[in-house]
Structure 1
Amino acid sequence: MAVDNLSRTDVTSGEEPRLLIPALGGLYAALANPADVILRIAAGFPLILHGYGKITNPFGAIEMVERIGFYPGVFWSPMLAVGEFFSGILLTLGFLTRPAAAVALVILLVTVYFHWIVAGQGFAGSEKSILWSAILFAILVRGGRALSVDRAIGREV
């Protein structure tokens, strides 16, 4: 039985589905690279902002990290600060994009656990972290793509 080409993309063949409105094809193609940059900035810049307070006071989150089970806090608090702040910078630049996305994704999945389980807030308390995690997962899989330092130097992890 043949599958309608409008309903899916066969990732193994590399074929794109036909557009219902073909005239939009040029617009989509023109916006593909800026969309990748916007996603990287949308994921990375807030990490820089969240991480800035931690990087200026790397031992300030000791109690928080221990409360969610990361001992010793004197080790994990600075690791959180470095991970959050520098992965945000790297994501925004598109440099070492996949490792930066992996680090940030782990941090965000821990925040999902914290808000959902530890704080008992369920989905309502963790939905932003879930969405942020989904964006980071997409970046992890796709890499820096065009308009990234990774692409400019011709190397990606």
Structure 2
Amino acid sequence: MSDYNTTHTPYVIPKLQGLYATLAPLTVLYMRVIAGAAFMVHGWPKILDPMARIGMVEGLGFHPGWFWAPLLAATEFFGGLMLVLGLLTRPAAFACSIVLCVTTWFHWVVQAEGFGGAETSLLWLSITLYFVAHGGGRFSVDRAIGRQF
């Protein structure tokens, strides 16, 4: 896992190096927790009634809905929880990234909203893809147990 080390690049104001080194892992923690919490908020109603979204997922072309609707609920809620904790961060972020690819396609193509409609999904996708590539960071369960996927 990366320490988000800032010591290899010369700074215009060298005294800021320590500040940046301190802030870097905290901002990664903040980004991971907010992203995970957002997924949990979106997944919570789906977890309460996973079969309620069968029509929605089938309307997007995912058949059979009885399979995909609970999978969507679990991915959003439990994937979000795993991101919050930084546990199995890469697979959780990858699963969330797939959901965001679908929402991007839905807004851009199906709803014909273009970039403006897909913009939020694209921004969230950039965050989840960051965690696919970098892992959970210094303040994660993955780091605490000394294992990452």
Normalization by structure 1: what TM-score?
Answer: 0.89
The residue aligned with 1:101 is: 93
The residue aligned with 2:129 is: 137
CA distance in structure 1 between the aligned counterparts of 2:11 and 2:56, rounded to whole angstroms: 49
- The number of residues matched between the two structures is 144
RMSD after superposition: 1.3
The residue aligned with 2:35 is: 43
Secondary structure of 1:39's match?
Answer: helix
Normalization by structure 2: what TM-score?
Answer: 0.93
Larger Rg: 1
Deviating 4+ runs (over 3 angstroms): none
Partner amino acid for 1:33?
A: P
The residue aligned with 1:78 is: 70
Secondary structure of 1:60's match?
Answer: helix
1:5-154 equivalences under 5 Å are 16-154=8-146
CA distance in structure 2 between the aligned counterparts of 1:63 and 1:96, rounded to whole angstroms: 31
Q: Which ranges of structure 2 fall in alignment gaps of 5 or more residues?
A: 1-6
Displacement of 1:144:
1.0
Higher helix share: 2
Displacement of 1:66:
0.9
Q: Which ranges of structure 1 fall in alignment gaps of 5 or more residues?
A: 1-14
CA distance in structure 2 between the aligned counterparts of 1:116 and 1:77, rounded to whole angstroms: 21
CA distance in structure 2 between the aligned counterparts of 1:137 and 1:153, rounded to whole angstroms: 22
Q: Which has the higher contact order (CA 8 A, sep 6+)?
A: 2
Identity over aligned residues, as a percent?
A: 48
Secondary structure of 1:19's match?
Answer: coil
